[in-house]
Structure 1
Amino acid sequence: MLTRRDSLRLLAGTVMGAAALPARSAIAADTPPPWTVTGSGSLPPFDDLMRSFMESRSIPYASLAVVRQGKLMLARGYNSTSGPVLAQPTSLFRLASVSKPVTATAIMKLVQDGRLSLSATVAPMLGLSTAADSRLGNVTVRHLLQHLGGWDRSVSGFDPMYREDSTISSALQVSLPVTQANIMDYVSTRTLDFDPGLRYAYSNYGYMLLGKVIETVTGLPYATYVRQNVLSPVKITRMAQGRTAQSLRRSTEVPYYSPYSDTTVMDDSGAQVPLPYGTFNLENMAAHGAWLSSAVDMAKFTTIFDAPGLLTSSTIGQMFAPPDGVPWSGSYYGMGWSVRPIGSALNTWHDGAYPGTSTLMVRRYDGLSWIVLFNRWDDALGQNYTADIDYPLHVAADRVTSWPNTDLFPSYGL
C-alpha cells in the first residue's frame, strides 16, 4: 500500500491561503437533502469513500472517473443535494489548475510538430518589454512549462491572476475588468524574483503566457487550437472554456458553492458577489485555470500519456523528465505534471483549487488513473479538498479485489 507521500506534494493548484483572503461576508448555505449517485460501473470502495468524504465536508456535487490499463472502470456523479442540477459523469466542472496539463500538452504538440522550440525566448515572441528587468529576455518556453520563469508569489506576495485586478487597473489607469494584455503590460514593469531557470516557483502567470505563445505561433485562439489538435483527436468534445458570470454557466455545468462573498473584479461597481462568480476573472485564466470538463473526458485525457499516439514516446518522456540543473528531492514538476519516480515507473498528477472548485487528476505507476472534481473549496482554511482525498483514493484503489473487464469509454462517446 502506498504511503501518504502524494498527499504531502506541492499543492500546485492552490491559489491562496487563509491569510491571503480579504475580509468577506458570509452568505447562507442550504441544508443538503438525501444522497444520489449517477453513472456507470461498480467499485464500492470508491463510492463509499466519496459519500463519507462529501457528507463530512458538506460538498454538494462531485464526479469521479477511474481508469485501469486504458479502460474506463467507473464513471460517477455524486450529489448530496437535490438541486438545482444533478451531477452526472458528463457534467462539466471548472478544472482550475488541472487546466495546466492541457496547455502543456498543446505546447508540446507544437514542439513535436516542429512549430515551436522549447528554447525559444518568450519576451520577443509576445512583445514583452524587458526595460524593467533584462532577465525577462532570458525566459524560455521550457522555463514557463516547468515554473522556472522567475516569478515567485511567495516572495513578491503577488499573483497577477488572482485578486490583483484593482492594483493593475489603478497602475495602468484602465477600467475593470483588466485584460490579459493589461496583465502582461503591468507584470513587465516589475522585476523578476529570481534568475530564470534557477529554481522552481509555481506561476499561474507563466501558464497564461503559454496560452499567448500558442496563439502567436498558430494564429488561432488558444481554445480553438487546443480543441482541434489535442482534444478532438482523442474524441473529447464536451470540454469548453469556463466563464466568470453565474448567468453564463453552461447548461451541463454544475453550480459552484462558497459561503462567502467579496468585491467583484469584473467592473468598477464595487458590488459584492459570491466568491466563485466574479472575485476572479476566469476569462483571463484560459490557459492555466479556465477549462471546464467532465470527469470522464479528463479520464480519457490521461490515456494520451499511456502510449504513443497523439504524442510520441519521446515527447511524453520530455514532459515527465526532471528539469535540468534544478535540485529536487522525491518529486518534481515536469512539463504540466508533478512527477514522482516509483522504481522504474512514475506517479504523475496535478491538482487545482479556487473558490468553488477543487480538482485532482492522478496517473499511478501501476496503470491506474483517476480524476475527481468537486464544486467547493475549503474557504475557511484556504485548502483544497483534493489534498485530503488524495491518499484515501489510493487506499480505495488498493481495496478493489476484482476489476471489471469491460470498458465504459465507448458508452460516453470516447
Structure 2
Amino acid sequence: MDVLRMLFCGCIIIAHFGLNIEAAGLKYGEAFKNLITENGYKGGATGVLLGNRLGYIEGFGQTITGHNVYHETLLPASGISKIITALTVLKLFQENTLHPNDKIFGEQGKLAKFTPAPEQITDSRILDITVDDLLRHAGGWDAEISPVADPVFNEFLVDGNHHLVNISKELKLKTPLKTVDVIGFMATRRLDFQPGTKSSVSNLGYLMLGRVIEEATGMPYDVVVKENILNNCGMWHTRLGPHTHEGQQVYKGRNPREINAELREKHEVIGEYYAYVQTYMVDSCLGWFTNAYDAMRLAQCLDGSADYKLLNDSTIENMARRPRLDRSNDDSWYGAGFKIHEGGAIWVGEEPHAPDVVFLHRNLKRHTPGTVYTNDENEPMAWTLLFEGKPNIDAPLKQLSRAMVEGETHWPTTNAFVNDLNDRILSIGPITKLHKLRVEEHVANAYLIALQRTDYNVIWLNAYTHAGGTFITVIAERDPKASRECVAVAGLTREKLVDKKLELEDLGYNMTFFQNYKSFSHRDKFVFLAVFHKGAFRNDSRILYGIQHFDRPYKTLLTLYEEKGYRPLVQSIEYNRDDALLSFILEADSDKEKDQKPIYSSEENLSEARLEKCVRKYARDQKRLIYLDASNHRGKPKFSALFKKTRMTKWLFSQGLSPEDLLITIDEKQKEGYLPSINIGYSTKRDELLFATYMEKPMKDVANDDVI
C-alpha cells in the first residue's frame, strides 16, 4: 500500500513525550513510525477505519522475538483482550445465559466452587460482587494499593520485592501458580473497596470472567469466544497464546523462576515478560494476540457498518453505563470492557503489565444495519495502535493518536480489509476474482465472513489435507449484492450440515455447493463445507441431495435420475479405507424433464493421468469442467469430476502445480485473458502439496450460456 500523504493542520508540538509533530506535514505513517522509534517501542502496527472500510494499515519495527512486524503480524492485544471477554459476556446477557446481577461467589454464585468455606471468608463483601461489577472493574480490587499488587502477575512481581504477599508461599505450592490458586486465594482476602463504588483496572476480575463464561456455557473460554465473537466478526487471525519462535512457544515448559531471572536480565521490564507468560494465567484478561486487520473488524462489528452488528442497542446501552454505585460527575468512566466518554467515544488504553495498545471508536451509534451507509467515506471513525515492548516514557497515546488521525486530510480510497484475504486479485473487464490458496480450517469460518464483508461472493471452495493439517482454498468474485446473499461454512458435521440447510431454507437460501472431506481439525472425521445462496434455484426446481453414497449404488442412482431430467451439480468424493463415498446435488426443472446424459458427464475414481485425459476428451465433445474434487486413497490422489455441454469458451487445465507455480500460472494466463474457475489442492504419496486449476476466458454473454 502507498504510504499516506498526511498534512497536519496548524502546529502541534508534543516534545515532552518524545514526539515532535510540526506543521511540516508528516504523513500518518511517518508519524506512527516516529511514535515508535522516539518513544523506545520495539515495533507496532496501526489501522484506521474510514466509513466502513479499512483506510490505512501499517506495520513497523520488530517483535520482542526479533521478527519484523508486517501488516498481518500478530501482536499482544493487551487491553483488547478485555474487550473480547466483555463482549462475550454481553452476548451471553443478550441470550439470557447470564444476567448482570448474577453473583460471583456464594452457594448460588457463578463461581460457587471458588467460594471459601465460611470460616475462611475475611470480607463478607465478596458475596456482593456481581458479573456487572467485574465487567466494569468494580469488583473491589485495586492493584495500586493491594499488598498482593496484581495477583495475576504475582509470581513475577514478588521476585525481588519482599514487601508483597507471595501467593505461592502462602498456599505452600510446590508447582507453578495456576488460575484456580489465584482466584481461590483472593477470595479469602479483604477487598480494597466496596464492590460497585468505583473502578480500578483489574486483571483478576477479568480472569474471573473467563471462568464465569466457562461455568455458564459448559465450554472452554476460547471456544465460546471463537463462536460468539471471532467468527461472527470475521477475526480470523486473532488467537490465544504467547509469541512463537520457529513454531514453538518460547520458554514453554520452563520453570517460572528461571524465566523471570532470564527476563529480568534481558528485558528488565514486566511488559516484555508478558510475551512469555503462560496463556492459562492471562487468557481472559490479557491473553489474546491480534493484528490491526482484526482489531478494525471488531470496530465494524460493534457499529454495524459492515452489515452485521454484534450487540443490539439495549446491550450497547448496558455496556456504556456507569458502575452501579458510582456517583461521580466525571465525563468518562469504565463501562463493560471499555472506557466510556459521555460524548459517545469508547476506548481502551495502556496496561501496566502488558505492551501498550490503543483501540478507539468515536461513536457506536453511527450506523443502523440494513441501511445504506451515508457517512463520509473518508471520515475516521475508529483506529488502533498495537505496540511491542514498553516505552522509555509513558506518552498520552490516546491524545497523540487522535491528533495524528485528525490531522490527515488525504487517506487512500481503497479498502485494505481485502489485503489479507487474498493471494491474488485478478480482473478482466467487469469481472474481478479473488484467489486464496491456503486458509487453515479452524479459522475458515471467520475468514469466509471477513471475505463476504468485503463484497466478495464465494464461487468456489475446496478443502484439502497436507502435512497433518486441513486447509481451504477459495475463489470469490466481487459482487456486492450476491455477497450479501451468500453463506459459506466449513467444518460441519453431517448433522450440522442438515441443520444448517434446513435453517437457511427457511430464510430462502439454497445449498448450491458442498464438499465432504476428512478433517485433521476434527480428529480425522468426515465433515463438510457448504455454500448457500439466496433464491439460487427456480421455484419449480426439484433438488436432490445425497450424502456419502457408495460409488456403485451412486452410479445406478445417477443414471436413473439423469433419465428423469436431473442434472448433477456437485459430486464430492471421499474415501473411507477402500470405499469411495460420493456426496452430490442433483437439480431438475419440472418443465424440462429430458434425458441429461447427452448434456452432463460424470467421472469418479480418476488418477492424475486419467483426469487430464477426461478433461481433454470431454472438451472435444464441447463439455466444460464444472466440478472437481480430490481425495486421498492409500497415499495417492483420486478425483471426481463433472462436465457440462455448453457454449464453449477457451479454457486451460493444469495439474501437478506447486502453490508457487500455480500463482505464477494464474498471473501469466490472466494477461492472456484467462481467470480460474476451479482450484483444488491434493497431496501425493510423498505428502507433496500440489494443485489443479481450470481456467477459462470469461464469456461475453454469460446469460446465453445454454446447452448446445
Q: Give yes or no for TM over 0.5.
A: yes
Matches within 5 A, 1:140-155: 140-155=130-145
Instruction: Give the direction of change, closer, same or farther, for the CA distance of 1:152–1:136 in structure 2 (3 Å limit).
Output: same
Q: 1:89, 1:270 → 2: CA distance?
A: 31
Instruction: Determine the structure 2 residue equivalent to 1:398.
Output: 406
Specify the alignment match of 1:226 in structure 2. Answer: 225
Amino acid at match of 2:359: M
Q: Quick one: distance in 2 between partners of 1:96 and 1:80?
A: 17
**Aligned partner (choices 108, 112, 129) of residue 90 of structure 2:** 108
1:179–1:80 distance in 2 versus 1, CA, 3 Å:
closer
Aligned to 1:360: 358
Tell me which amino acid in the other structure corresponds to 1:329. D
Give the aligned partner of residue 110 of structure 2: 125
Alpha carbons of 1:251 and 1:89: their partners in 2 closer, same or farther (altered >3 Å)? farther
- Is the 1:75–1:295 contact (alpha carbons within 8 Å) kept by the matching residues of 2? yes
Aligned to 2:621: none
AA matched with 2:180: A
The structure whose Rg is larger is 2
**Contact 2:349–2:397 (CA<8 Å) still a contact in 1?**
no
Q: Distance in 1 between matches of 2:27 and 2:151?
A: 41
Deviations 1:239-259 (A, max 9, x none): 11123xx6x448599x9xxxx
> Contact between 2:40 and 2:390, CA under 8 Å: does it hold in 1?
no
- Tell me the residue number matched to 1:408: 416
Q: Secondary structure at the match of 2:169?
A: helix
Q: For residue 188 of structure 2, what is the aligned residue in structure 1?
A: 189
Residue 337 of structure 1, CA deviation: 0.4
SS in 2 for 1:162: helix
2:282 match: 285
Structure 1: 5+ residue runs without aligned partners? Answer: 8-42, 256-263
Provide the residue aligned with 2:125 in structure 1: 135
Distance 1:265 1:331, change over 3 A: farther
Which residue type is aligned with residue 410 of structure 1? V
Match of 1:339 in 2: 340
Q: Which residue of structure 1 lines up, in the alignment, with residue 49 of structure 2? A: 67
Amino acid at match of 1:317: E
Partner of 2:427: none
Bigger drift between 149-158 and 402-411 goes to 402-411
The CA distance in 2 between the partners of 1:309 and 1:70, in whole Å, is 13
**Which whole-Å CA distance do the structure 1 matches of 2:296 and 2:52 have between them?**
9
Q: Which amino acid aligns with 2:297?
A: K
Q: Alpha carbons of 1:403 and 1:233: their partners in 2 closer, same or farther (altered >3 Å)?
A: same
Tell me the distance in 1 between the aligned counterparts of 2:171 and 2:329.
Answer: 39
Instruction: Map 1:163-174 to 2 at 5 A.
Output: 163-164=154-155, 167-174=166-173
Residues 315 and 117 from structure 1, CA distance in 2 versus in 1: closer, same or farther, beyond 3 angstroms?
same
- Equivalent pairs: percent with the same residue? 24
Equivalent-residue separation in structure 1 for 2:332 and 2:197 (angstroms)? 17
From the two aligned structures, give the one with the greater strand fraction: 2
How far apart are the structure 2 equivalents of 1:355 and 1:153? 11
Q: Is the 8 A contact 1:176 1:268 kept in 2?
A: no
Following superposition, the deviation at residue 179 of structure 1 comes to 0.4
Q: Which amino acid aligns with 1:302?
A: A
**Cα distance change of structure 1 residues 137 and 355 upon mapping to structure 2, 3 Å threshold:** closer
- Map 1:264-343 onto structure 2 (within 5 A): 266-267=256-257, 271-273=261-263, 274=266, 275=270, 276-277=272-273, 281-307=278-304, 309-326=309-326, 327-342=328-343
For 2:225 and 2:402, locate their aligned partners in 1 and report how far apart those are by CA, in whole Å. 31
The alignment status of 1:375 with 2:360, answered yes or no, reads no
Q: What do residues 87-126 of structure 1 show as CA deviations (whole Å, max 9, x unaligned)?
A: 1111000112221111000000011011011100011321
Is 1:161 aligned with 2:152? yes
Query: Are 1:147 and 1:200, in contact at CA under 8 Å, matched by a contact in 2?
Result: yes
Q: Which moved more, 1:214-223 or 1:315-324?
A: 315-324
1:39-50 to structure 2, matched below 5 A, reads 45-50=27-32
- Provide, for residues 257-304 of structure 1, a one-character-per-residue CA deviation record: whole Å limited to 9, x for no partner: xxxxxxx97257874334534785443111111100011111111122
- CA deviation string 1:115-153 (max 9, x = no partner): 011100011321222622221111000010011111122
CA gap of 1:207–1:79, structure 2 versus 1, over 3 A, is: same
Moved more, 173-182 or 129-138: 129-138
- Distance change (3 Å), C-alpha of 1:100 and 1:265: farther
Question: What is the number of residues matched between the two proteins?
Answer: 355
Contact in 1 for aligned 2:130/2:139 (Cα 8 Å): yes
Could you tell me which amino acid in structure 1 is paired with residue 325 of structure 2?
G
- AA aligned opposite 2:309: G
Once the two structures are superposed, what CA deviation does each residue of 1:203-240 show, in whole Å capped at 9, x if it has no partner?
A: 11011100000011111111111011101112111111
Partner of 2:491: none
Partner of 2:163: none
Structure scoring higher RCO (CA < 8 A, sep ≥ 6) equals 1
Q: Give the Å deviation of 1:164.
A: 4.1
**Structure 1 110/399 Cα, relative in aligned 2: closer, same or farther at 3 Å?**
same
Can you give the 5+ residue segments of structure 2 that lack an aligned partner in the other structure? 1-7, 15-24, 159-165, 364-378, 422-449, 451-708
Contact 2:286 2:354 in 1 (8 A): no
Are the counterparts in 2 of residues 54 and 80 from structure 1 also a CA contact under 8 Å? no
Tell me the amino acid that sits aligned with residue 339 of structure 2: S
Task: Please give the alpha-carbon distance, in whole angstroms, between the structure 2 residues aligned to 1:352 and 1:252.
Answer: 28
- 2:46 and 2:292 in contact (8 A); partners too: yes
3-state SS of paired residue (2:350): strand
Indicate the SS of the match to 2:284: helix
TM superposition shift of 1:175: 2.5
Tell me which residue corresponds to 2:466: none
RMSD: 3.0
- Aligned residues of 2:198 and 2:323 also touching (Cα < 8 A): no
